[in-house]
C-alpha cells in the first residue's frame, strides 16, 4: 500500500509527518535540528530516501543536511562525522573537506564566474551582493546526487556530489538587469526552481523582487520572462524586471504552461513565460504566496488568498483555499474543515504541496503551526498537526 | 588544554556538550584557537567565521576572562588563563533567544 511522507520546515526545526495512503492517521516526528530555521526540505524524485534540508540561522549561517534513510538520520554531506577530509577520490571526484557542504561562495572566477556587483536596496541605492541563506532546494529529477539551490542574495547553485560542494551557475547573476533587482520584504531570494521534465536544459527560476527567468541551455544564459506582468508599486509597472513574483508552479505533463502567484495577481503563461496573462478573476484577493497544481489535472490549480501586502492573513479571518479547474479565472472556495472565523495565519510561498495518489492529496502549512491535508483534491480538509512552530515549507513524498 | 564554550545551536550541530577541549600548538590566539576548533569539529566551519571572508560572523561574539575580544586582531595572543584552560573561552550568539 502506498505511503505519504510530508516534510515540514519550520522556524524552529524540521518535522516529518507520515501516513499510509488513506491519509487519515498520521505520526509526527521531530523536531530535527531543533532551534534552527529550516527553510526547506525536499526529497529526490530518483531516490525518495535521499532528502536534503536547508538549515539556517541569522547568527550561525548556512548548513546543508542530508538524509539517506528517509529522514530517520541526518548528516552534513562529507566523508564521516569525525574525519576532516573525504577519502581520496579519482580526478572526477576529488576529496572534499567536511564543512565545505555549507559553503556557498559566489563564483567570481574568470573562467566560469562573474564579478560580484550590486543590486538595488530598499532605499534605491546600490547594495553589495551578500550570501544569506538557501531558500529552496530542488533535487534533480533523475540523479539523487544533483541538487539545485536557490539562495539569498539571488543566485542559483548546484551540487553534483550529493551536497558535498556547491558551485554557482553564475550566468544568471551576470544578466544586464541585475542592478535593478531588489529585495522583497523577505530579502532578495531565489525561491522557485522548476526543472523541465521534458528538457533537462530548460530551467525556470523566480526571484523576489526581480521576476522570473528561463534558461534553455542548462544555465549558461538566462532570459527574463516577465512580459504581461504589471506591478503598480514600480515606477514602470511593466518593466522587464523588478516584479515581486511569489511562486511559480508547473504540471510535469505540460511544462510550457506555468502558473504564478505574484505579490498581487495570479497569472499564467502557455508559452513558457514569454507572455503572461492574469487569471485572478473572482478571487476575494489576488495577493498570496503559494500556488500548486493538481497531480493528475494540469488545469486544476490551488491558491490561498491573503488580504493584502500589509495584512498577511486571510480575508475576513476565513482560511480558504481556492481551486480553479479551468487553469484560472473561475475559482471555487474550499472551506470544509478549515477555520471560517478568527483565523489570522499566513501560508508562505513554499508551504503548499500535492501528492500523486488518486485522489490527489493537497497539503499546506501555516505560520500558526498547523499543517492541513485534503485527501480528496481540496474538497475536505483536516488538520494533521496544529501546534508546530511557524511553518516555512511543506513538501510531500508519495512512497510505494 | 583549552576549554571552549559553544552556544546551544553549535552544540547541537557538533553533537557535543556546552564545553569542548582543544589543544593548540604555539601561541594561542583567536585565529589559532578557531582553526583548532574547526579542525576538530569541521561541521562548524562557516558558522563562527564566514566561509568566504574568514571574518567573524556579525552576530557572534567572543569573550575571554570576562573581556569582549570580538574586535581584537585575530593574531593577538589570548590571556594566559585561556591558554592554560583555567578559564573557558566563550563563543556567544550576540542576542539570546529569537
Kindly report, residue by residue over A136-195, the tens digit of the pLDDT.
999 999 999 999 999 999 999 999 999 999 999 999 998 889 999 999 988 999 999 999
8 Å CB contact between A380 and A374: yes
DSSP A205-250: EEEETBEEEEESSTTSS-EE--TT---TTSSSTT-SS-B-EEEEEE
| Residue of chain A minimizing CA distance to B41 | A82
8 Å CB contact between A213 and A197: no
| Range of weakest confidence among A261-265, B1-5, B88-92, B93-97 | B93-97
| Range of weakest confidence among A201-205, A210-214, A240-244, B16-20 | B16-20
Helices (H), chain B: 8-14, 30-40, 80-84
* Partner-chain residue, chosen from A57, A63, A105, that has the shortest CB–CB distance to B52: A105
Query: Nearest-CA distance from B35 to chain A in Å?
Result: 12
Question: Which residues of chain A lie closer than 8 angstroms to B13, CB-CB?
Answer: 60, 63
Interface contact flag, B94 A59, Cβ < 8 Å: yes
Q: Considering only CA atoms, give the Rg of chain A.
A: 20
Interface contact flag, B42 A84, Cβ < 8 Å: yes
Question: Which residues of chain A lie closer than 8 angstroms to B97, CB-CB?
Answer: none
What digits encode the pLDDT tens for the residues A34-75? 999 999 999 999 999 999 999 999 999 999 999 999 999 999
Average pLDDT, chain B: 93
Q: How many CA atoms lie within 13 A of A350 on its CB side?
A: 29
| SS3 call for A87 | coil
* Partner-chain residue, chosen from A33, A57, A97, that has the shortest CB–CB distance to B42: A97
Q: Residues B41, B22, B5, CA angle at the centre, nearest 5°?
A: 75
* Mean pLDDT (whole number) for B23-29: 94
- Phi/psi-derived region of residue A187, left when phi > 0, alpha when psi is between -120 and 50, beta in every other case: left
Query: Nearest-CA distance from B86 to chain A in Å?
Result: 27
* Residue of B20, B38, B42, B92 to mutate, interface with A, max A Cβ within 10 Å: B42
DSSP A244-268: -EEEEEE-TT-TT-EEEEESB-EEE
Interface contact flag, A98 B43, Cβ < 8 Å: yes
pLDDT-derived band of residue A100, with 50, 70 and 90 as boundaries? confident
What digits encode the pLDDT tens for the residues A187-196? 999 999 999 9
Q: Which domains does chain B have, with CATH numbers?
A: 2-93 (3.10.20.30)
Residue A95 grid cell: 576529496
Query: Nearest-CA distance from B21 to chain A in Å?
Result: 15
| Residue of chain B minimizing CA distance to A76 | B43
Interface contact flag, B13 A103, Cβ < 8 Å: no
Amino acid at each position: 500500500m502506498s505511503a505519504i511522507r510530508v516534510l515540514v520546515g519550520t522556524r524552529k526545526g524540521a518535522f516529518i509527518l507520515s501516513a499510509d495512503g488513506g491519509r487519515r492517521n498520521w505520526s509526527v516526528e521531530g523536531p530535527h535540528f531543533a532551534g534552527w530555521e529550516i527553510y526547506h526540505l525536499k526529497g529526490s524524485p530518483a531516490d525518495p530516501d535521499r532528502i536534503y534540508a536547508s538549515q539556517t540561522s541569522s547568527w550561525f549561517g548556512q548548513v546543508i543536511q542530508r538524509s539517506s534513510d528517509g529522514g530517520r538520520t541526518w548528516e552534513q554531506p562529507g566523508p564521516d562525522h569525525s574525519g576532516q577530509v573525504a577519502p581520496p577520490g579519482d580526478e572526477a571526484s576529488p576529496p572534499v573537506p567536511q564543512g565545505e557542504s555549507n559553503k556557498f561562495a559566489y563564483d567570481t572566477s574568470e573562467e566560469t564566474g562573474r564579478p560580484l556587483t550590486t543590486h538595488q536596496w530598499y532605499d534605491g541605492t546600490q547594495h553589495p551582493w551578500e550570501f544569506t541563506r538557501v531558500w529552496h532546494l530542488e533535487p534533480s529529477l533523475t540523479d539523487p546526487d544533483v541538487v539545485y539551490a536557490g539562495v539569498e542574495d539571488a543566485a542559483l547553485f548546484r551540487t553534483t556530489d550529493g551536497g558535498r560542494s556547491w558551485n554557482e551557475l553564475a550566468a544568471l547573476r551576470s544578466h544586464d538587469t541585475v542592478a535593478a533587482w531588489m529585495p522583497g520584504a523577505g530579502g532578495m531570494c531565489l525561491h522557485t526552481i522548476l526543472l523541465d521534465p521534458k528538457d533537462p536544459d530548460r530551467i525556470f527560476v523566480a526571484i523576489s523582487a526581480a521576476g522570473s527567468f528561463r534558461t534553455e541551455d542548462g544555465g549558461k544564459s538566462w532570459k527574463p520572462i516577465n512580459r504581461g506582468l504589471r506591478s503598480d508599486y514600480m515606477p514602470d509597472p511593466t518593466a522587464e524586471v523588478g516584479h515581486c513574483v511569489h511562486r511559480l508552479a508547473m504540471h510535469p505533463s505540460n511544462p510550457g504552461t506555468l502558473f504564478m502567484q505574484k505579490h498581487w495577481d495570479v497569472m499564467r503563461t502557455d508559452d513558457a513565460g514569454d507572455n503572461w496573462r492574469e487569471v485572478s478573476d473572482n478571487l476575494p484577493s489576488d495577493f498570496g504566496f503559494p500556488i500548486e497544481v493538481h497531480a493528475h489535472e494540469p488545469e486544476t490549480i490551488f491558491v490561498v488568498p491573503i488580504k493584502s501586502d500589509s495584512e498577511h492573513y486571510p480575508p475576513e479571518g476565513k482560511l480558504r483555499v481556492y481551486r480553479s479547474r479551468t487553469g484560472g479565472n473561475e475559482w471555487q472556495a474550499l472551506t470544509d474543515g478549515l477555520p471560517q472565523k478568527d483565523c489570522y495565519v499566513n501560508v508562505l510561498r513554499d508551504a503548499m504541496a500535492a501528492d500523486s495518489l488518486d485522489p490527489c492529496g493537497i497539503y499546506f502549512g501555516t505560520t500558526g503551526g498547523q499543517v492541513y491535508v485534503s485527501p480528496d483534491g481540496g474538497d475536505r480538509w483536516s488538520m494533521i498537526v496544529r501546534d508546530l512552530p511557524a511553518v516555512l515549507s511543506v513538501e510531500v513524498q508519495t512512497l510505494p | 588544554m583549552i576549554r571552549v564554550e559553544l552556544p546551544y545551536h553549535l552544540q547541537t550541530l557538533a553533537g557535543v556538550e556546552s564545553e569542548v577541549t582543544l589543544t593548540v600548538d604555539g601561541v594561542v590566539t583567536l585565529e589559532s584557537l578557531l582553526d583548532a576548533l574547526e579542525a576538530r569539529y569541521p561541521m562548524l566551519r562557516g558558522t563562527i567565521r564566514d566561509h568566504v571572508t574568514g571574518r567573524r560572523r556579525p552576530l557572534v561574539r567572543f569573550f575571554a576572562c570576562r573581556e569582549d575580544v570580538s574586535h581584537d586582531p585575530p593574531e593577538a595572543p589570548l590571556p594566559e588563563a585561556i591558554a592554560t584552560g583555567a578559564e573557558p573561552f566563550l563563543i556567544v550568539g550576540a542576542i539570546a533567544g529569537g
